Amino acid sequence: MLIGQELCKALFNDEYQYVLAVHIDHEHIHNHIVLNNVNFYTGKTFETEFNQGKIPERAWSKLRQVSDELCKKHHLSVIESPEKSKGKSHYEWELDKQSLSWKAQLKAAIDEVIKVSEDFNDFLAKCAEFGILIDYNPDHKIDLKFMLAAQKERNPRARFTRAKTLGWFYESKQIARRIETYKYMTTHAPKVRLIPTTEERFQQSQGLQNWADRENMKVVSKALNEMTADIQLWITAPIPTPTMT
């Protein structure tokens, strides 16, 4: 438990809510952490703040680094990093673990690329980082097709999937709109400052805890209303036309 607490303190800096549990259901004792990934003070997600919207693996690399350092500090064994190879990324491993179909995996991967893209051209460039092959030709009626690189490796004769087949949400114009909308939401989200109820004085007084919870709910409700109004205005704007430079 102590190591888990130190890990959460180092990573979350008392700015995120989390639940820490110790599991003894296997031969090795281990921690499980459930994180509310919205920052108390900024309203931004852990991924947005920690990864700066650029490198999706950065936060988890940092987590492992801190965990390894704490294990060494407490004289526990550390799993050495395996040699670099064409192994699966943690993201790919999670998708396989969930037994998702190729189509579902492809859509999930595209969704992740959209979150870290500056515009449609940036989206096309970053697809490879997430194991997505693309075929884009704006002059063709069917302008955008996708395929998972892993799918091609397993079946060299596999064919690209039309964006339209994945659904309207994955067509080129809609992807461009989703990128702009996501950027707008993350940059225009109202800043909120919540009362940190983890402080000792709140833990010792149920009345004070209840008051703080009510005040925090008011702040969050107001922020959500402001965001909803902004988004309603934003979604009526013209859809940007994807271009290639």
pLDDT tens for each residue of 212-234: 888 888 877 777 676 666 555 55
> Which residues in the chain come in under a pLDDT of 70?
1, 25-28, 51-59, 79-100, 188-190, 224, 226-245
Do 49 and 39 form a contact (C-beta atoms < 8 A)? Answer: yes
d(CA 105, CA 146): 11
Q: How far is residue 92 from each of residues 81, 86, 104, 106, measured CA to CA in Å?
A: 18, 12, 12, 11
pLDDT at position 244: 58
Name residues whose C-beta falls within 8 Å of residue 24's C-beta, 6 or more positions apart in sequence.
none
Give residue for tokens 């109202």: 190
Bridge partners (DSSP) of residue 31 are: 22
pLDDT at position 84: 46
At residue 71, what are phi and psi to the nearest 5 degrees?
-65, -40
d(CA 228, CA 215): 20
pLDDT at position 63: 81
CB atoms within 10 A of CB 76: 12
Q: Is 52 left (phi over 0), alpha (psi -120 to 50) or beta?
A: left
d(CA 134, CA 145): 6
d(CA 218, CA 143): 46
d(CA 4, CA 10): 10
Do 13 and 5 form a contact (C-beta atoms < 8 A)? Answer: no
pLDDT at position 99: 54
pLDDT at position 122: 94
